[in-house]
Structure 1
Amino acid sequence: MSHHLLTHSYPIDIHCHQRRNDEALQILSFDTSDLALAKQSGAEASPNPISVGIHPWFIAKQDIYAAFELLENVCRLTNVLAIGECGLDKCIKTPLETQTAVFRRQIELAEQIRKPLIIHCVRAFNELLALRKALKPSQVWIIHGFTGKPALAAQLLEHGCYLSLGKALLKPKHPVTVTLPNIALHRLFLETDAAEEVSIGAIYSQAAKILGLDLPTLQRQIVANFERVFTHD
């Protein structure tokens, strides 16, 4: 994987959907249904780090064969740091069987090209872990936008997943504020996701407050996590 994209920028936003003015290293997420993604497959691909995947929400809105062809072409670009977001969602109409087939193929692709997965999972963690047990992937799985309770976090961590937390941390009574101190710091990431009104700096500041850490210490830990997950050869 190319290292020229990876800097010690503070802070790191592991998953976002729009380029921001924040002074941070941002991984911008594209779905294959996004027409803007086509530009990324050309010779003038943006140097900005991105992730690319087939989101379960958009499976039914595109030709899935063409989507996989595009994904397989784009995902090998040096600025593509991860596959995703992809995953499982029991709150949408697309049958879970169809979602699982699409997700499974992306898991296999991530293994082939040795890049981590950014995972969307809604009310399907049992199925997610069943896939992980069956496939025994070697690449890192990052559960993005995690808002669950400590017991679920512990289960995911036990099975080798990383957890990325976002704007829910800014809600004082949200369950994830209790979960955060129970997450091993070497498995933690932070993100803005689609929250246009929230800065990654605000999320880092709140996370540091909840953890009882000074901000530079938390930032260094996230950078170390990022380098370990994304800079392997």
Structure 2
Amino acid sequence: MECFDVHTHRLTSSAGLSFLSCRMDDKEHADISTARFLSVGIHPWFLSEDDCMLQFQWLDEMMLDPRTVALGEAGLDKLCDTPFSLQLKAFRGVIERAEIHGFPLFIHCVKSFNEVIALKKEYRPKQPWIIHGFRGKKELALSLQSQGFYLSFGEKYQSEAMKTVATERLLLETDDSLVDICELYRRAATVRGIDTNKLVALVGENINRLFFSR
């Protein structure tokens, strides 16, 4: 059973089947040199006026790396100390790069769904927008998928939301958890009431469609 992890901050024995999410501060991390696939972004937690342009320069360089298959995580977080206006500036820059260069976008969203939804309506992106680490209620899950978002679930989530999201909108990730990604597939399959191998195959189809058949 090959379980693909679409968003992780650490590589494991199944590193070939994962997207390593990284930011500029990670550029010397050993995992970047060994990762098969990368997702690169500007995280709102690690952003300042002083380094914003440097982060964009790094992002532009990393988009040329053939291993880069997605942008992000990037987004908005009302609970962090970074000024919200600066977060918006950076997020807009990442959105525009995703559209110009054709990359799916992994989104970090904390207490900012109204703003993210408004930006999606404004930009009308052709590229997939994926809410990573989704922990919201089923009502939010239904609303987001009706507006074209994909939802990536990690170790912690609302069971009713996991049951609700359409299979074609579902992805799974470890993020910074130490739990094995295949265990997360087994748990999700139990919640959804289907065979684990079937879920792995269905999510695999989503991954191929979103990242490797474009």
Measured in 1, the distance between the counterparts of 2:31 and 2:195 equals 40
In structure 2, the gaps of 5 or more residues are none
Change beyond 3 A, Cα 1:38–1:96: farther
Q: With the length of structure 1 as denominator, give the TM-score of the two structures.
A: 0.87
Change beyond 3 A, Cα 1:64–1:204: same
Question: Which of residues 93, 98, 101 in structure 2 aligns to 1:110?
Answer: 98
In structure 1, the gaps of 5 or more residues are 1-8, 170-175
Q: With the length of structure 2 as denominator, give the TM-score of the two structures.
A: 0.94
Native 8 Å contact 2:153 2:173 kept in 1: yes
Partner of 1:214: 195
Question: Is 2:53 the partner of 1:32?
Answer: no
Native 8 Å contact 2:16 2:36 kept in 1: no
Native 8 Å contact 2:20 2:35 kept in 1: no
Cα drift, residue 46 of structure 1: 4.5
Native 8 Å contact 1:11 1:200 kept in 2: yes
Q: Which runs of 4+ in 1 moved over 4 A?
A: 37-40
Question: Is 2:179 the partner of 1:188?
Answer: no
Partner of 1:134: 122
Measured in 2, the distance between the counterparts of 1:85 and 1:76 equals 17
Residue-pair matches, total: 214
Question: Which of residues 162, 169, 180 in structure 2 aligns to 1:199?
Answer: 180
Partner of 1:172: none
Change beyond 3 A, Cα 1:195–1:116: same
Q: RMSD over aligned Cα, in angstroms? A: 1.9
Cα drift, residue 95 of structure 1: 1.5
Question: Is 2:5 the partner of 1:16?
Answer: no
Change beyond 3 A, Cα 1:128–1:182: same
Cα drift, residue 91 of structure 1: 0.1
Measured in 2, the distance between the counterparts of 1:61 and 1:25 equals 35
Native 8 Å contact 2:106 2:129 kept in 1: yes
Measured in 1, the distance between the counterparts of 2:165 and 2:6 equals 17
- Seq. identity, %: 39
Native 8 Å contact 2:39 2:68 kept in 1: yes
Amino acid at match of 1:204: Y
Question: Is 2:75 the partner of 1:87?
Answer: yes
Change beyond 3 A, Cα 1:61–1:116: same
Pairing 1:153-168 to 2, within 5 Å after superposition? 153-168=141-156
Question: Which of residues 32, 35, 53 in structure 1 aligns to 2:41?
Answer: 53
